[in-house]
Structure formats: C-alpha cells, structure tokens
Amino acid sequence: MELNVIDLSREDSWQQRGAEARQKSDLQVIGGTEGKAVRRVPREYMSQEMLLEDMPQRSPQRRPKSDSYARRAPGSQVRKTQARPRPRQEVSRPRAPRSYEDPSLVRRQRMADARARQERLRRRKRRRRKQLAARLTVLLFLAGMIALLVFALVRLVTGTDKTDRVVETFRHNPKEQEIPKEEERTLKPFITEDFLTVNEYSRPGEALEEVNNIFVHYTANRGTSAAQNRSYFENLGTTGETSASAHFIIGYDGEIIQCIPLDEIGYAVMGRNYDSISIECCYLQDDGKFTEETYQSLIRLCAWLLDEYKLTPEDMMRHYDEGGKKCPLYFTEHVEAWEQFKRDLGQYIAEQAKL
C-alpha cells in the first residue's frame, strides 16, 4: 500500500493533498498529525463523529493582537473581553501670556458699556410709549367715529318723527307757540344768586316794602373781586365789626352776584335802606373809575331794575347824594361822568324797548 506524506507546515499543500487522496480511493490512507496513519472508509459508512474527525483542521487565521480579544487555543471559542480604557494623557497647552491693562481704561470701558445699555433701555421705553400713544389715539378716534355714527343713526331714525310732531303742534296751536313780547324784550342780565346768611350785621332779614331809588356804590377796596366783597359781608355776621351790605356786587370782569333778595333790606345807605336797592361796584384804578365790563353790567342791571319797579334814569342816585359820602369816588369827582352814565342808561332802555 502506498503512503503519501503531506507536509502540514503549509495549509495550502495539506488541503490540496487531502482532496487528491479523497478522489483516488475511499480506502486510501493519509498521514495525520504527528505521523499517525488513519484508515479511510467510505463516506456513506462513516458516522457523524467520524465525519467530524475527518474534516480537515484548518489553522486559525492570524488576527492582529488587540485588547478586545484574548488568545485562544485551537478549537476553543472566541471570548470577547471588555476593552480596557486607555489612560488619558494630559496635554499641556501653552498658556497665553497675561495682558496687563490699564485699570483706568478698563473702568472707562465699563462705564461706556453701562451708558450704552442705559441708552438702549431709554430708546426702548420711548419706542413703547410712542406705540402706546399711537394705539390710544387710534382707539379714541375709532370710539369717536362709532359714537358719531350711532348719533347719526338715532337722529336719522327719530328726527323725522319729532320734526313732524313739532310742525303739527305749531299748526294746531299757534297761540301756544307765540312768544310774549315782555319775555322777548327782557332786560335781566345774568345774575349769580349767592345770598348771605341771615344775621344782624349784613342781612337782617327785614322786608323791603317799596323801592323809590337805586343807589350806586363802589367797594372802596381797589383790586378786590365781587366774590371777595361778598365774603366780607358774610364774615360781618361773625366778626360784628360794622353793619354793611348791598343787594348786588358787580366785579371788575362784569360778573354780577346777588347777596340779598329784592324783598329784603340791606345795610347800604343810612336812612334809605327801607325804600332803596344798592349796587356795589369793584374797580382797579386809583381814581375809582370802573372798567368797561363793570360799566356795561351796571347799565344792564340798572335798566332791568328800573323796568321792574317802573322807575326812570332820573331815579338813579349816588351814595354821595344821600349823606355826602364820596361814593362812588369817580362819579362824585367827575359829575359829567355821572350824567353821561344816566344818558347811556336811558339810551340802552330805549334800544331795548324797540326790540
């Protein structure tokens, strides 16, 4: 029997010779490892164990040495081991040289940055305020437009009916629509009623039975207003310094305040308080001359009182005409001014009568 020796040192030669031996005969004997001979039997009569033993033992491929795999013996299973962490190498980096800056420059830079931040905040606040003002303006404008539209719609819906009713009433009741002539030519000016508290020094509360004259006075206190002189009369009820008051006070702006009702007496002209009405006038000039506003209000008030009591301009009197007191000062020192006042009063009454 012929024996073939196979060099097992090389994997390629071993595989080639094994294949040639299997092809020649099923009873061929080949050399095994370490010079041992093995008899070859037909493959169909071989058991599973024999087939496994008959399989060529391949040498393991060489693997690169790695920390992830451990060395193993031939035929042993590969066991994966945990990779060992490599120690971290500390890399020393070169440090940049420290720059030494001037502290004053650093402080100035910080202050500049702070001012810049504050300026940005102020601009932001101003922008927000402008936006808010614009929004409010738009809302107010829209609200006004809506109110105007609602008002126009209401007038459109209800205006026609009211106009028709007024026209119809005027046609059926013409007498009720006529304005009386006396009301049409009324001479009463605008008067503010601010009556004094009843007291024994300025408003005794006694009845004024008749009116024969109307007296003109001046306050003898330059630069004071009608309200201040009214307060002076009111305080007399507390202080009791003297007895003084007037039915009316005209301010240097033309306002008229009524202090006492026309059916009560005032303490203005001694001996004539029970049959006269008195008017106090404020002034600004040293000579006692009235302002134009005071002068015109005095004419309107006197015209209305003369019409109420059926008197004439000749029934007007100065405080000087009853007792000799220089009151009002300008009319007593300038008699022509007083006469001109009575002429202006008569002309005003005549003009009102034509209306």
Q: Are 222 and 289 in contact (CB under 8 A)?
A: no
- Residue 167's pLDDT is 43
The 3-state DSSP class for residue 68 equals coil
pLDDT of residue 28: 41
DSSP H helices in 246-328: 292-308
Strands 276-281, 30-31: pairing kind: unpaired
- Residue range 200-217: mean pLDDT, rounded: 95
| pLDDT confidence of residue 111 | 87
**Residue 177 · residue 281 · CB < 8 Å:** no
In this structure, the chain runs to a length of 355
Q: Model confidence over 242-301: pLDDT tens digits?
A: 999 999 999 999 999 999 999 999 999 999 999 999 999 999 999 999 999 999 999 999
- Closest C-alpha to 216, from 293, 125, 294: 294
Confidence band, pLDDT 50/70/90 cuts, at residue 114: confident
What sign results for the dihedral spanned by CA atoms 68, 72, 78, 79? negative
What tens digit of pLDDT does each residue of 158-189 get? Answer: 754 554 554 444 444 433 344 344 444 457 89
- Per the model's pLDDT, the better-predicted residue between 288 and 43 turns out to be 288
Q: Residue 30: helix, strand or coil by DSSP? A: strand
What is the helix (H) or strand (E) element at residue 145, kind and residue range? helix 103-172
What confidence tens digit (pLDDT) does each residue in 61-91 have? 555 555 444 455 555 555 555 556 666 665 5
Contact 268, 152 (CB under 8 A): no
ω before 103 within 30° of 0 (cis)?
no
